[in-house]
Structure 1
Amino acid sequence: MYLEVESLEKRYGHLAPSVADLSFSLGQGELLGLLGPSGCGKTTTLRMISGLVQATSGKIKVGGQDVTRLPTYRRNMGVMFQSYALFPHMTIAENVAFGLQMRKIRKQDIAKRVASALAMVRLEGVADRKPRELSGGQQQRVALARALVVEPDILLLDEPLSNLDAKLRDNMRNEIREIQQRLRMTTVFVTHDQTEAMAICDRIVVMNRGKLEQIGTPLDIYERPATPMVAEFVGRINRLDGQWRNDGAIAVGDSLVRANASGGAGRVLIMIRPHRIDLEAAGEASVGSPEANVVVGTIRHINYVGDTLQYAVATAAGLLQVEKATSSATDPFQPGDSVTLRWKTRDTLTFSSEATG
């Protein structure tokens, strides 16, 4: 592995640690996402990797070398901040060149590398402008060029897209991924947006309250969440309390639900993704099977959000959210309609009651 983080911890005084016993690694050329809610410690982790924040304990290794106590300028890492941190009094070329000047690179080489970096982010014609003369998306590209121009061993991106509107954010995340793959740049990407992490990261570290919840590919994180926190944070989900029965079914309210998980004992938390539930008009009474769960219910309300219809359905198991893609300008259902809900047993996620914090 190229970057190794071992038992990393950061404490401020006598407060609870901002980051505690955090370990992960990534290979050369890999893009790893640090994902989690605000305050979970992901930016602090990024700053410890860069050297901007000193770790209280633990180790950071790059290519097998321990860099934990090295100053930032000796780590050869490119950092792109959430605010972009461009110098307003400098031209774009001067902003991009700043890191090279700090590294005492020859002037003739600086000019070539600045031109190449701006070309890489498609900003060839703005070298003499000031940051205030550029759009938010262009400023974001300048910040990326400044991070790349030093030819870093590792690129660190701290919420780089949070200041952009939704459409531009989608475009820019694709551009970042394309540049990262083309350069085979080892990259750590901090975000609280699960869609961003799922879209561009090779693997994702999910953090919560300074600790590691799960690490895996986007598919692992979404389809096989290790904890309820991961299941709820990465995508939308229904959450219901149940009780294991001796026959392996789960009693949820006045309904029985089955899962692929082996039967246990006592209380259990079950979760179902809204888009994995099929919705049909109520017909003849249906019963569940080893392959599918069936419950009946009544639509309480409907939200139209463009490409998706969101239904809230009252059932004997509890209130369930169901999401379906819109297929026409009219909705076949109305509030008050009786409906049948079906979902596969494999889509019923189960967690022990001890994991439901």
Structure 2
Amino acid sequence: MKEVFIIADNIISPLGFSTAENFQQLKQSVSGVQLHEDKKIADEPFYASLFPAGCELFMGDKYTHFEQLLIASIEATLSSANLDITSKNTILIISSTKGNISLIETEENNEALRKRVALHTSAQLVADHFHFANKPLIVSNACISGLLGIVTGMRLIQSGIYENAVVVGADVITKFVMSGFQSFQAVSAEPCKPFDADRTGINLGEGAATIILSSNKQDAKSIKVTGGATGNDANHISGPSRTGMELSHVLQKAVKEAGIQNADVDFISAHGTATMYNDEMESKAITIAGMEHTPVNSLKGYYGHTLGAAGLIESIITLQQMKENLVIPTKGFQQLGVTKPVNVAANTIIQKNLKHCLKIASGFGGCNGAVVFSKAE
């Protein structure tokens, strides 16, 4: 099969409008999670990572804020990539969980609104903006959407259908989104604490990210996508597996596809939402695979949970950690609060040679995903 290289990436978040800006903020332990008072989102003050008021991308009324985030992130990524996006060899993949769902809060419920809210409408608008030759592909599978977008792009390139895949994801936090998580009593009243004994739930976040995959290596120091897998634990519509067996199977399948052993994984970027059940399940999945000594971190304390963009943002930060051979600590973590003794990176940056890294994610409906990134020889 063809090798799949990562040739460019971008993150747009409250921490910055480039990958470099975001990573620099993380290295300085800066978090985008802040206390907000916005009646348009929640009746009570809440912690989240949101773009500041007045932070506009100035693209006119044609595109919603969600679509503008997608366009801005793609545009920034293309500026550093030698790529003909008008070629039939390139596919656009868009990942999101909510898209333009905020429009149902402000617009009249009619056929025009239903068409405008549809993800395929946004996808085509974005594709037309850049003159992509192919019809865009939408990946929307709860909170593994961004990660699944990478796996999908990898498969399409490995199969020879395309040479390049532009994978972009975004989500915007609205009252609809916030109220949904509040109904599960999953939102923390303080900054989230992934894997910590005192964790009380998630903070939400918004942002966008883009990764360009290609069968054409452009950089001698390229990083490859060497393995990927997805599955479903079929446990509950909102509660993950209680055993962790299913996620463990998925991550071990991805590692096997990468042609390495579990012990060869140098670092794991966890989903780490700071809910009681997610963190517990992930810790079990990791230990079942015999990887309890491998350094693990969660970035939710910096970004909040960015939904459809989370898998992409956290994958890009994983790539940056690989390039600089370091592991960012888990913000908010102090004392292990899961039953399995996973090696959560805490307090300070860890210096470590990172050759093979694993990114995992889980989401509502029991979906699980895993991707392995490896430095090119």
* Fold match by TM threshold 0.5: no
More strand by share: 1
Higher relative contact order structure (alpha carbons within 8 Å, sequence separation ≥ 6): 2
Structure number with greater Rg is 1
TM-score (norm 1): 0.24
TM-score (norm 2): 0.23
More helix by share: 2
